[in-house]
């Protein structure tokens, strides 16, 4: 979700997999990861999930001057991959009877009887989850010189909702919006009468058994297993989040994401397996291409079997996860440097997909 980079890569992925998709033999995980990462600054971790189990591969180190090795338990910022967990909270909240997906977000975000609620009633929870609420990529009042989200508070978010939401054209083509997913997550937290980090922990992360996945709120980033962001070869601060947390605040490990993907494939039983299946149902066409979107998850188009995926980017960190139910395989790739090819390149290679960019 970093200043348009995630959006540009995300659109290019649709172009990559929508044209001339064909199966290919999966390369060796360690060899493929090392080849993709090459000699960059920082490090990377990859996981491959299949019916035979989970394999891990790593490359590089924490950063310049820090030779600690990357492991499957190293923490990475996963950026907009966080949106999948916010969307999963929607499915879980609906199943629990706390919300309906067609509820207006204003029902939970604004006080009862608020005069602005009627003008915002068309912005529903499902329109936010499918990027079809007609909202801009970021709230119009968001300002940050370095992209950090730590100082954008709930009062600013609600002011932007009132200002930007009234002009939104709901139901048009789906256009990627961090702002929309933020509103979704905060509305769901309000429906549970809690704050986003607490509600996500209790309703999603704990039931999934993800013990090393957490929300990067201010003051929570000092962990020994958490390498710095590497931006243009130099160390940069971690991003932290306040009100914008639902769109990109999660930190995770290759091991935890592999466990999540096992649940996505139905290879691991959790209380949320049915909710995951609900999230991947395609609901709309995404952007101008043939790809689809469900509750958070994008899916590929073309002659091959669908792959469900999402990517993410913060300052330096980049992440990609995907799974193919019919083949019973899944991948997670994370790195803490903005150098070199994006994780999507390795991810789709590991899943045996080839394609042309169309350019």
Residues of the chain with pLDDT under 70: 1-27, 221-222, 301-304, 354-359
Residue pLDDT, tens place only, 2-43: 544 454 444 444 444 432 233 334 569 999 999 999 989 999
Distances (CA, A) of 122 to 36, 271, 294: 45, 31, 19
* Structural contact between residues 352 and 336, judged by C-beta atoms closer than 8 angstroms: no
The confidence score (pLDDT) of residue 133 equals 96
Secondary structure of residue 10 in the 3-state scheme = helix
Q: Nearest Cα to 221, choosing from 155, 315, 144?
A: 315
Q: Provide Rg for the chain, Cα atoms.
A: 19
The confidence score (pLDDT) of residue 147 equals 78
What is the number of residues in the chain? 359
The confidence score (pLDDT) of residue 305 equals 85
> Please, how many CA atoms are within 13 Å of residue 340, restricted to the half-sphere of its CB?
25
pTM, to two decimals: 0.91
Residue pLDDT, tens place only, 255-265: 999 999 999 99
Which residues on adjacent β-strands are paired with residue 124?
104
* Structural contact between residues 284 and 292, judged by C-beta atoms closer than 8 angstroms: yes
Token pair in block for residue 12: 């290019």
Q: Where does 5-354 sit in CATH, by number? A: 3.40.710.10
The confidence score (pLDDT) of residue 303 equals 59
Residue pLDDT, tens place only, 286-333: 877 778 999 999 998 665 689 999 999 999 999 999 999 999 999 999
The confidence score (pLDDT) of residue 221 equals 61
């Amino acid at each position: 979700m970093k200043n348009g980079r995630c959006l540009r890569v995300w659109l290019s992925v649709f172009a990559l997999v929508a044209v001339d998709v064909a199966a290919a033999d999966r390369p060796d995980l360690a060899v493929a990861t090392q080849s993709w990462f090459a000699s960059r600054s920082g490090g990377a971790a990859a996981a491959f999930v299949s019916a035979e189990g989970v394999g891990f591969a790593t490359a590089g180190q924490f950063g310049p001057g820090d030779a600690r090795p990357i492991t499957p338990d190293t923490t990475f910022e996963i950026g907009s991959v966080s949106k999948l967990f916010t969307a999963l909270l929607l499915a879980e909240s609906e199943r629990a009877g706390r919300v309906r997906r067609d509820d207006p977000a204003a029902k939970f975000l604004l006080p009862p009887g608020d005069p602005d609620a009627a003008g915002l009633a068309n912005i529903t929870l499902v329109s936010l989850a499918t990027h079809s609420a007609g909202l801009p990529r970021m709230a119009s009042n968001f300002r940050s010189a370095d992209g950090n989200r730590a100082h954008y508070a709930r009062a600013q978010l609600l002011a932007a909702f009132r200002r930007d939401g009234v002009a939104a054209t709901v139901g048009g083509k789906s256009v990627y919006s961090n702002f929309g997913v933020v509103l979704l997550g905060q509305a769901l937290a309000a429906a549970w009468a809690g704050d986003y980090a607490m509600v996500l922990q209790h309703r999603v992360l704990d039931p999934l058994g993800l013990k090393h996945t957490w929300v990067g709120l201010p003051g929570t980033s000092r962990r020994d297993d958490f390498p710095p962001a590497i931006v243009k070869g130099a160390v940069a601060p971690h991003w932290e989040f306040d009100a914008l947390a639902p769109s990109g605040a999660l930190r995770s490990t290759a091991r935890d994401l592999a466990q999540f993907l096992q649940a996505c494939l139905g290879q691991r039983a959790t209380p949320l397996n049915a909710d995951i299946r609900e999230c991947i149902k395609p609901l709309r066409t995404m952007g101008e291409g043939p790809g689809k979107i469900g509750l958070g998850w994008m899916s590929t188009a073309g002659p091959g079997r669908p792959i469900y995926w999402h990517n993410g980017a913060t300052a330096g960190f980049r992440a990609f996860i995907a799974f193919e139910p019919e083949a019973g395989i899944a991948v997670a790739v994370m790195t803490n440097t903005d150098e070199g090819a994006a994780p999507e390149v390795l991810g789709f290679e590991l899943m045996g997909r080839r394609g042309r960019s169309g350019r």
